[in-house]
Structure 1
Amino acid sequence: MTATTFSVNGRTYTTPDCPVVVICIDGSEPDYHEQAMAAGRMPWLSKMLADGGTSWPAYCAMPALTNPNNVSIATGRPPAVHGISGNYIFDAESGEEVLMNDKRFLRAPTLFAAANEAGLDVVVVTAKDKLRRLLGAGLVEAGPDLNGSGAFVEPRRHGICFSAEKADEATIADNGIDDVLALVGRPLPEVYSADLSEFALAAGVEILRGRGADLMYLSLTDYIQHKHAPGTETANDFYAMIDRYAGQLDQLGAIVVLTADHGMSAKSGPDGRPNVVYVEEEVQALLGASSARPLDGVRVILPITDPYTVHHGALGSFASVYLPPSADRDAVASALRAIDGIEAVHDRADAASRYALPGDRIGDLVVLAEAGTALGRYAAWHDLTQLDAPLRSHGALGEQNIPFLVNRVLSRPDDLDAAGLLHNYDAFWVAGTHVPQTAEV
């Protein structure tokens, strides 16, 4: 493999002389791998770091949710650039609340599409199918024009992009690969299981071993992290599994980056019941309305909402509040800030600037909960009957710290964002452009 340079979204990437594999461990605050290493459950990672690998503190994009951060990693930029502001939004154009899983919401091409266009062999494997169409845009199906015209163009050559969730449905035409179950040698995994993540990792190993790749992205699921705290037996088992596959990728000669899309926080009290602020109920009460006679024009969007409600019951820690024109936004914001469990309330302009968000895809107000508190709309909107463990969830500042681990000796880049912070969306840029070509562990 020879070095290839390509540019996308204002960044230039130079690939190294070996495969680059980025593993996004969904919901992985640093305490998970630190506890697992302390228990002796991650021998590859422990040895790699002791022998000169790199471990840096890093941050996820806001909101600290799956879709915005996976797309940030895939584009090398925050949501203000790529436009994916949540798993779920209020679409002002249609006037409807919709899932943000469709590529039509993308405002920037992915680095996968750009690398594919430059002639590189790109492989993307996601655990959940909800990410596949976003990450595969321009790689295996039409995506935003690399020249920024806003048009959608077909890829000139097909990479590979499929999900573990629907691996049995993968075809050459739609995913760039078929017979995935036979390749991996594992049955189709259950969605709500650790097996979903293991299948994605096993697929990555088999693809790299059998046909190779230049860039590979393996995105896992946070099913385990939503149910099990760092250091528990189940969590340590899960991280031991990740360690095995990361070690195999390392043995195959890849630069391996372990990072996450967001962290995870416990959001239940000692009795096991969720600590929840129902924001829509609070706003209605502040404006003099009630659940029996709600005021028109009040709408709260919880961008964590997705089809996988067993994980979290749509309770996260980030909310967008839409208010009627007559409402006093400053007064509502001030009153919300006074509620126990609320960490911050920003108006649209401040939130967009502070957290690099697309201003037209968030509410008049953005509400962030403290790490130990979840945000809901109103009690009847949430089905919590499927929660079979104390609530652990994410979305705001309490879940922004994530790992950034690389199996190479690196010097910290000096050309990061304006604040000098390292983010998960720097992963491919750091692993390629900033890795010395002769460095080995």
Structure 2
Amino acid sequence: MFAALAIRFCLIPLYPGFRFPDEHWYAEIAQNLLAGKGYVMAGDGVQRFAICKAPALPFTLAGWGFLFPLTAISIKIVNALLSWFGIVFLTRAAIRLSNSRWPALLTALFAGFHPAVLFASLTNYPQNGQLLCIGLLVWNLARRERLSFCGMITDGMLIGLGALFVPTHIYAVPAVLTFYGVRGTVEGRASKHDRPAALLLKGAAALFVGGLITVSPWLIRNAFVEKAFIPFTATAGQQFYTGFNKEAGMNTGTKVGCSDEMIADLRAAQTGRKFEAVHWTYAMKWVEENRLAAAKLWGLKFLNWFRWDNGTLNTEQAQAGAGSVWIQRLSSVFVLVVCVTGCVRRWPKEKRWPLFIAVLMLANAFGHAFFISRYRYRLPFEPLLLMAGFCGWGAWMRMLKQKDTVGVTEIQDGTAGLHHEK
């Protein structure tokens, strides 16, 4: 794991600046927070409302800025640490789930040196913080012997924190509830502890309370400052428009054209909520006029969640088929193969974690199909998929070893019986 962190630090000087607009904007918001100007940004004239950016990353950078100068290099160090700690917690979860070190070692090796995850950790993107929240959530689920209300509240707090990094992290809720239901079924049979239905209701209430604890400070701030109910960001409309317009495709494109009329309306918007409403209006207009095309586009984007996308972490020049793109593609295919085969191997012994992974991925595919479905948004889940796959293979091999041990014991007992008869 320390080698994975070291290589991240060594690569940072090779990418000293920011390559994408969002990286600049998150850094700008953090610098404005440090300067006492509040949660604001100048943007590019049209994209100028900071409320359209999730708050967790700028506040994390601002906290770092109290200790160290907030430069591009130091910002990349923060993102590298967020990504690395996420993989550390997933590795710890693998140890708890497999009772063996080799699945954890494979998780640390392949997740720590995953090319796309490695490159993403050098960018100023909130997905690095989301990876940390995924690692914490899975580790918190794996370490508990029993489902407790306090533990469920902690799960809700971690989901809320992840949603403050990336709002679509809220899609983890159905997966966690599935985990509660399946685990409740097992525990109910063993100890009559709780019925699955009661556990689901208790779990839903605990997740709501935990999420509210995390989100409430930001929610209260937006009620007074933005004069609106905004639990995470005011970006849903913009994301919906990016995913549904005449230029959108399976990969949703890297460029989205806006009519002169729409640009004028966006410039006239006085608040982030009105800015979001303009996007909703034009997107819904296109959907109503092109319902069949919109339905087809939704289906394509649903499938796109499960494939690579070469328009995510590369510049336009690198998207023409460079070696780095093919490395990312092969890495993505490898992750999916490991996860699917490992979960299939684990299924006969335990259905809880394969169902958790399946529901988590399907919920994200379903939700992202309404907005933007890019590989960059699936990327924080790939270390988790690797962990699930390796743990599944570990459980299967341990089961085979136990069968072999039982067989050898039976043969030894039979041989001992023959000697006794003689």
TM-score norm. by structure 1 comes to 0.27
TM-score for both structures, normalised by structure 2 = 0.28
Structure with greater proportional helix content: 2
Structure holding more strand per residue: 1
Choose 1 or 2 for highest CA Rg: 2
Flag the structure with more relative contact order, 1 or 2, with Cα contacts below 8 A and sequence separation at least 6. Answer: 1
